[in-house]
Chain A
């Protein structure tokens, strides 16, 4: 069965510092990979997605992620974070290779401090 592991439940970082949020998945078939962001008491917003092609994917708000098939990872990075990036970040995989029935990780809480 497919699964998603987000290795850090919380990541504290200072403003303007770089950040990496880690995500590993398990799947025996081709997958689509996603990162979503959730601000307090709101729904989830798509940051970026990997479907195929270039393994480096750029998303909104200056975030990017790199798909590494050999390590089954899809880590999210940003070179310089802002206070407004404080939120919960979810990695997700679509085991069927489509958009249906995404499997989510447990989330990583990013806390950006001044």
Chain B
């Protein structure tokens, strides 16, 4: 079965600083990959999804971007963080069912 690794697990960044969250998947190939954000006390919002290398679809306009340089690597980035970017970011993988990583908690101060 697939395993999803996310890092860093926790991150505290100042407003205006860049961001890079990484997600790698093991145990499968050609997965669909997703980035979700969970804001405090709220549900999950789909940010990006990818069906293959270099193929990224954005679900909502925002300050973030995503890239998929390799089949099992999915990166979430920002050039300048905003306070509203704080949240719990979850990477997910689907080759059938949807599996989630352990998440990365971002606090922007």
Which residues of A come within 8 Å of B, CB atoms?
A: 6, 34, 36, 41-46, 49, 90, 99-107
Contact = CB atoms under 8 A, between A and B. Distances in A.
B103 A100 contact: no
A6 B44 CA distance: 13
Nearest to A94: B98
A46 B105 CA distance: 21
B74 interface: no
Contacts, number: 46
A41 B98 CA distance: 19
Nearest to A91: B43
Interface residues of B, number: 22
Interface of B: 4, 32, 34, 36, 42-46, 49, 59, 90, 94, 96-103, 105
A100 B43 contact: no
Contact of B97 (A43, A90, A99): A99
Contacts of A105: 43
Nearest to A104: B44
Contacts of B97: 46, 49, 99
A50 to B, nearest CB: 13
A10 to B, nearest CB: 10
B90 A100 contact: no
A8 B89 CA distance: 23
Given A6-B43, A100-B49, 8 more contacts: A42-B102, A43-B90, A46-B97, A100-B32, A100-B94, A101-B49, A103-B46, A107-B43
B96 A106 contact: no
Contacts of A41: 103, 105
A42 B103 contact: yes
29 contacts: A34-B98, A36-B100, A42-B103, A43-B4, A43-B90, A43-B100, A43-B102, A46-B97, A46-B99, A49-B97, A90-B43, A90-B44, A99-B94, A99-B96, A99-B97, A99-B98, A100-B32, A100-B49, A101-B46, A101-B49, A101-B59, A102-B98, A103-B46, A104-B36, A104-B44, A106-B42, A106-B43, A107-B42, A107-B43
